[in-house]
Amino acid sequence: MIYKEASEILEAIDNLIGTRVIKVAKNALKKQVSRVPDNLNEDTWNCPHCGKQYETEDNYYYCPNCGQAIDWSGYLVTEKAAE
């Protein structure tokens, strides 16, 4: 199931029952879609979801703070991130 389909299903369920659980599920689903890091420079980058700053050498696949998937495509990835 792709993000758009899952999002539409969660939206339909949310319209029917409107629970906090659905809102949490939708937020978690959004964070699974990879996003490029914000403010990427030679020394640091920021998570595009929570804004937490990391050292450039810390090119995680997911933000350790909030779980946002990070898209490093188009950037040189170090061996550390590939582990």
Hey, where are the domains in the chain? 1-33, 35-83
Q: What is the pLDDT of residue 52?
A: 96
Q: In the structure encoding, which two tokens stand for residue 4, read together?
A: 């758009």
Q: Say if residue 82 is exposed, middle or buried (CB neighbours under 10 Å; 0-12, 13-18, 19+).
A: exposed
Which pLDDT score, from 0 to 100, does residue 11 have? 78
Q: Which residue has the tokens 């990070």?
A: 70
Summarize pLDDT for 22-78 with one digit per residue, the tens: 777 778 888 888 899 998 888 999 999 999 999 988 878 999 999 999 998 877 655
